[in-house]
Structures are given as structure tokens and as C-alpha cells.
Amino acid sequence: MELGRFGIWLPYREGTGDAREIESLGFGALWVGTSPTLDQTRPFLEHTSTIPVATGILNVWRNEPADVAAGHARLRSEFGDRFLLGLGIGHPEATSDYQRPLAKMRSFLDELDASQQPVPREEMVIAALGPKMLDLAGERTLGTHPYFTTPEHTRFARERLGPDALVAPEVAVVVDDDPDRAREKARAYASLYLGLTNYVSNLLRFGFSESDVADEGSDRVIDAVIPHGTPEQIAAALEAHFEAGADHVCVQPVGNEAGRAADYRALATVLV
């Protein structure tokens, strides 16, 4: 599967309205986010013709492995290698029975392997943040699709996984050349994630302080996690992930009240 350098990450609840334009603009992949099921992912494959489509991510607490394996087989049968299964553990604040996430992910992969139509390792990735989950991604899948991270985490993931695994971070961006306004938009997006244990713990692991992640987040953490500015400035910031070892970056424009389409077009002029 060829993902290209840049893909687009978008919430499945926003529908397929922008999918064809994302494909026509030349982005390399479409990541369907906010924990879709495979049935909710299917329309994005149906409304496009060539672009790879990945789940970013399918939540392993909310789906049965046997159903996922069968659904994966159907999508690959109908759409070939355009479909990539992205798996994730979610976060404890959203799952009442969340416990032993590493054991849960390992068990889920074991059950996929034991299904009547097993999912080949090269057809799935894990949204891994910590070292043990990254190790599991490297042992059992094509690689990793981390979310809400920095280039330093990308470098860590590459070093942990070695040269052959896929490292494909999601990066939210704000296309706005006014720094104060852009940071305000970035903070509005970041507020959810700065209240979630796994993302905050990961930021602390990579050199940010408790004061950086408190309240609405410091300028330092906002600027590191959510590049903002002109399309050219954003492109330069995204390049840091490639310099750190990323193979592919899936970009999520946020903060445009008029919709994301204008941001897709603006970013395509410098990214594609």
C-alpha cells in the first residue's frame, strides 16, 4: 500500500462530503477518525476510487475481534489493498472497563490471528504511544499511527520500531496566519486531549512539565503539538516529523468554522 507523504485525518461523523476532493487534490491517504466501525468506514471507500482509506482508529474495546476480521476480509475483497485497519486502545476516561490496555491489545490481536479469516500483520497498524505498545506494534503489525504527539515522539517511535516499520503520526494543524487567533483555535481543539490521561502522560514523558499541560496548555505545548500559521509555515513544521523518521503524516485541519475544505485546498498547494 502506497500512502504517500501526506494524508488527511477526518472524523467519520462529518461524512464523506470531502472525500472525493481530498482524493482529487492528491493526498496519499484518508484516515477515518473518532473510532469508526468498519461499517462506518465503508462509505469512504465507496465514495472514492483510488485513495487508500484507513481507520484512525477502530477501538478494540467496542468491537469483537471475529467481527472485525470478517469485516476486514470483506473490505479487502471489495476494495483490494485500499483498506488499512488501524487499531487503538482509546483512553480510560471513555471506557468504563478500561484496564490492562497492553494485555487487551495483545488479546485482540491473538483473536484476529485465530479468526477464520485472519488479518495479516501488514494490513493493520496500532495507535501506539508508550514504549510497550510501540513494541507490540512492531512485533505484530505494519507499524504505528500515533495521535496528538510531537516530532520527538516520532523520533522515539522510529528508534523503537526500527527502519522497516510504518510510522504515520496524526498531526492537527490550524491554517491561520494570526498567531494569537491560531493558538486560540488550537487550544479549543487541545482542551479535550489535555484532559485525557494517556495523552498527558505521553507529553510528560517527552519533556513537558505539569504546568505545560495544565489548564488550556502552555504556548510551548500548543505550538509543539499543533502547528499553525500559513500553509508554508505548517509545511515546514510537518517536515520535522519526516526528519524525525516518519514515513507518512496524516494532517487534521482544525479551527475553521467555515469547514475543512478550504484548508484542504490551501494545504494541498504546499504538501502535494
- The pLDDT value given to residue 91: 78
CA atoms within 13 A on the CB side of 131: 5
Q: Which domain holds residue 83?
A: 6-181+230-271
Task: Give the pTM.
Answer: 0.97
Residue-level length of the chain:
272
Q: Return mean pLDDT, the chain.
A: 96
> Is there a domain that residue 173 lies in?
yes
> Is there a domain that residue 27 lies in?
yes
Does residue 105 register a pLDDT over 80?
yes
Does residue 152 register a pLDDT over 80?
yes
The per-residue pLDDT for range 211-220, each reduced to its tens digit, is 999 999 999 9
Question: For residue 50, which amino acid is it?
Answer: T
- Domains of the chain: total: 1
Percent of the chain topping pLDDT 90: 95
* Sign for the pseudo-dihedral over CA of 227, 231, 236, 241: positive
Does residue 247 register a pLDDT over 80?
yes
> Is there a domain that residue 167 lies in?
yes
For residue 83, the SS3 value is strand
CA–CA distance, 73 with 69 (Å, rounded to integer): 6
> Is there a domain that residue 202 lies in?
no
Residue 109 — very low, low, confident or very high, per pLDDT cuts 50/70/90?
A: very high
> Is there a domain that residue 25 lies in?
yes
**CATH number of the domain within which 101 lies:** 3.20.20.30
> Is there a domain that residue 236 lies in?
yes
> Is there a domain that residue 262 lies in?
yes
Burial of residue 130 (CB within 10 Å: 0-12, 13-18, 19+) is: middle
> Is there a domain that residue 201 lies in?
no
